[in-house]
Amino acid sequence: MSRGRPTTPIRLDGQEKDQLRSMARSRSQPHGMVQRARIVLACAEGESHVAIGSRLGISKMTVGKWRRRYLEQGIEGLQDEERPGRPRTHGAERVAEVISTALHSKPSQGTHWSVRTMAEHTGISKSTVHRWFKMFGVQPHRQRH
């Protein structure tokens, strides 16, 4: 006997169930997507929010959130939404270009790129170049050329 507020049952057709099972078993998808697929599958089986939450180590509110999103938007609703905040100024291509330049070329004046010389060369701020170098473990002064 289930207690608490009644919930709208999730009914999955064969294709949706197969797709969610594939996502739930995936080793290449982000953990959040895998977990959300598991939540929806458990909800479709009729498991309670409390039981799902305790089994997956999450709160019953989280289970309710993803159940609601799935009912409203389907599998697309399990994707992460845009986060608030300032949008990125430089795209992934620009980051890759700067890192590649640092690793595979030399500046005209010197033996290796420094944060300052790379910033001057690319027109990107020193702090941004420094953050990228640190994020990707780039240490041009330690590279063998």
Q: What is the mean pLDDT of each run of 10 residues along the chain (145 residues)?
A: 70 91 91 94 92 94 93 89 84 92 89 93 94 89 68
Q: What pLDDT is recorded for position 87?
A: 84
| Helix then strand then coil, % of the chain, to nearest 5 | 60, 0, 40
C-alpha distance from residue 50 to each of 32, 42, 44, 93, 127 (Å): 19, 11, 14, 44, 46
The pTM score is 0.58
